[in-house]
Amino acid sequence: MQKNILVTGANKGIGLEIVRQLAILGHQVVLTARNKVRGVAAQETLAKEGLSVHFIQMDVNDEAQIRAAAEQVNKQFGQLHVLINNAAISLAADASILLADSKVLQQTMQTNAFSMLTTVAAFSSILPSGGRIINLSSGLASMTDSISGWSPFYSCSKTLVNAFTRHQAFALAPKDIAVVSMCPGWVRTDMGGSAAPRNVSEGADTAVWLATAEQIETGKFYRDRKVIAW
Ligand code: NAP
């Protein structure tokens, strides 16, 4: 079945690769980006590869843009089968939990976690029974693995993403909408850096699988197509 799928923060990195792989599979994909020029450039890159995707400008920190995007998707496609919350930031100043820089904390939590609540609130009404929400998290969110010390606010923002995932899964279960978190692994992107062992294709794989697999278990945390511990 061809699905309508929207990906946030998809002008580069893992998000762009998720869009690419889903378009190759024949799905109707909406690439969203906060910056119109960068978003259209990404759309054109895919067009040169023979892939046709839609573009909507959407800054995940702009509630009005999120609501407008949901309305546009509703008008154009009637429904959205899969929402992939991929957009995130990792700020260089996020170096130590002891610095407690409230501006860095606020920006990180807003973009990586709070915005996801607004996005799900805006799109959940156009997700049909059988719909899915995939939240990009990280192994750094873990409450069981040891602490790496790397980007503590970013890590905590992803722990919050995981907590939101479980509550969203509970709230949307009566509508038969699955909500999951996933870790792409450490991936070579602007965020992951050049030392990361995975390429974007490997990083996008589990999100694409979660979007398209026949059945997935809601309210779970995934990596490499398998459920992992929170
Ligand atoms: P990336 O290359 O830095 O790309 C991040 C994307 O998010 C960019 O398109 C960026 O747009 C967008 N974005 C940032 N703020 C936004 C906003 N307010 N509104 C809309 N879009 C916004 O990062 P990535 O490595 O592909 O990461 C993708 C996801 O995987 C993130 O959720 C990240 O936390 C997660 N992840 C990555 C790794 C890794 O090793 N790379 C590991 C674990 C988890 P601009 O170009 O406009 O900045």
Average pLDDT over residues 105-118: 98
Residue 225 · residue 205 · CB < 8 Å: yes
Residues with CB under 6 A from ligand 1: 8-9, 11-15, 33-35, 38, 59-61, 86-89, 111, 136, 138, 183-184, 186-187, 189-192, 196
Q: Which ligand 1 atom sits closest to the C-alpha of 60?
A: 19
Q: Which ligand 1 atom sits closest to the C-alpha of 10?
A: 9
3 state SS for 99-155: CCCHHHHHHHHHHHHHHHHHHHHHHHHHCCCCCEEEEECCHHHCCCCCCCCCCHHHH
**pTM of the predicted model as reported, rounded to 2 decimal places:** 0.98
pLDDT mean across residues, the chain: 97
Q: Which ligand 1 atom sits closest to the C-alpha of 115?
A: 18
Average pLDDT over residues 105-129: 97
pLDDT digits (tens, 9 = 90+) for 43-92: 999 999 999 999 999 999 999 999 999 999 999 999 999 999 999 999 99
Average pLDDT over residues 36-40: 98
- pLDDT higher than threshold 90 for residue 174: yes
Token digits of residue 35 = 């910056």
Of the candidates 157, 207, 156, which has an alpha carbon nearest to the alpha carbon of residue 181? 207
pLDDT digits (tens, 9 = 90+) for 180-208: 999 999 999 999 999 999 999 999 999 99
Residue 179 · residue 172 · CB < 8 Å: yes
If you ran DSSP here, which 8-state letter would residue 93 be given? T
